[in-house]
Amino acid sequence: MTDLSPQAQTVLDAANKVSSYGPDDCLNESRWIAAAALRAAADQVVPEQALEDVPGRFVNGCCHTRLQDTRAELLAIATELEQLDD
């Protein structure tokens, strides 16, 4: 199994807290569910439209660069979970 970043491992551990009983149990797909939730959170917290403003400006009281960084961090964790080798 691939080593995950501490952030991705924390997300996966939280998603796996409940026991999975069989191959049809949706919890066997916990990494995909967690990745989808992170992508949805990124879209809700930092919509791509907000990033279309001029860099260096403030959007909703937050620096544009920080918004880009936050979105990128959430999406990177989601991608890491999706690419995890079983």
Read off the pLDDT of residues 76-86 as tens digits, 9 standing for 90 and up.
999 999 998 75
Determine contact, residues 51/75, Cβ cutoff 8 Å.
no
pLDDT of residue 18: 59
The string of pLDDT tens digits covering residues 50-72 is: 556 555 566 566 666 777 788 89
Give the burial class of 60: count Cβ atoms within 10 A of its Cβ; 0-12 exposed, 13-18 middle, 19 or more buried. Answer: exposed
Determine contact, residues 12/81, Cβ cutoff 8 Å.
yes
pLDDT score of 37 more than 70? yes
Average pLDDT of the segment spanning 16-44: 76
- Domain ranges for the chain: 6-82
pLDDT of residue 75: 94
